[in-house]
Amino acid sequence: MVPNPSPTPTSPKWRPDTLKLKSRQRTTMDLYILRHGKAEPYGGKYPADHLRPLMPKGRKRTKLSVKGMKSVDVNVDLIVSSPILRARQTAEIVHEGLGLKNPIEFSDSLASGSVTGVMSAIQAYYSYDGVMLVGHEPTLSELISTMSSGLYHVAFNLKPGGLCKLRVNTARIAQSATIEWFLPPKLLAAMG
């Protein structure tokens, strides 16, 4: 008799929590979720949403927030950002301020609004100890909700420049994270 093989993603019994890890594979990672800084308003000078840059106030607060990140020991190996201008600018400020060596990676999934797309993309970064995602609402709040509770609609309000730290169990995706902390932008900047 042939033993039953482990479920695979194409089999009907497969679920993310049935994924088996190799014994030496990392089982947790820190995932930092950062909403882009305060951006210029939509319309008028910026008729397309993707063209909106950070406001001078958004740049300044993001720089202060980097100092706050250092005070709470944010440990990031890699930043993955939405390619949209305001997120890209935020990622660049944080990258420079934290003195990271790995170049910023850009992921269309962070711009698309698809939580499942972002969750799939995160799996490519499980080899890192700490990864920061820079993106947009409501996707980021829905991501925090889904990863921590399995439900996308648990109410979180990640304001521009707000940061959340998740401890992620890399053996599965949904309901795999513990919220370590959630810092609003004013508090994060004041800590710097």
Q: What CATH number has the domain bearing residue 109?
A: 3.40.50.1240
**CA-based max dimension of the chain:** 71
For residue 124, pLDDT over 50 is answered with: yes
Report pLDDT digits (tens) over 125-166: 999 999 999 999 999 999 999 999 888 777 788 999 999 999
Residue 99 domain flag:
yes
Which CA distances in Å does 62 have to 167, 171, 180?
23, 33, 21
Residue 172 domain flag:
yes
Residue 158 domain flag:
yes
169: enclosing H helix or E strand: strand 163-169
Q: How many residues does the chain have?
A: 192
Residue 41 domain flag:
yes
Residue 144 domain flag:
yes
Of all residues in the chain, what percent are helix, strand and coil, respectively (each to 5)?
35, 20, 45
Residue 66 belongs to domain spanning: 26-190
Residue 80 domain flag:
yes
CB atoms near residue 118 (< 10 Å): 25
Residue 98 domain flag:
yes
Compute the average pLDDT of residues 164-175: 85
CA distance 187 to 177: 23
Predicted local confidence at residue 171, as pLDDT: 79
Which residues contact residue 105 at a Cβ distance below 8 angstroms, ignoring those fewer than 6 apart? Answer: 78, 79, 80, 81
Split at pLDDT 50, 70, 90, the class of 16 is very low
Report pLDDT digits (tens) over 38-83: 999 988 899 899 999 999 999 999 999 999 999 999 999 999 999 9
Domain count, the chain: 1
Predicted local confidence at residue 173, as pLDDT: 67
Residue 78 domain flag:
yes
Predicted local confidence at residue 19, as pLDDT: 42
Which CA distances in Å does 106 have to 34, 39, 44, 93, 168?
14, 19, 28, 15, 21
Predicted local confidence at residue 155, as pLDDT: 77
Check if the beta carbon of residue 35 is closer than 8 Å to that of residue 135.
yes
Higher pLDDT, 9 or 90: 90
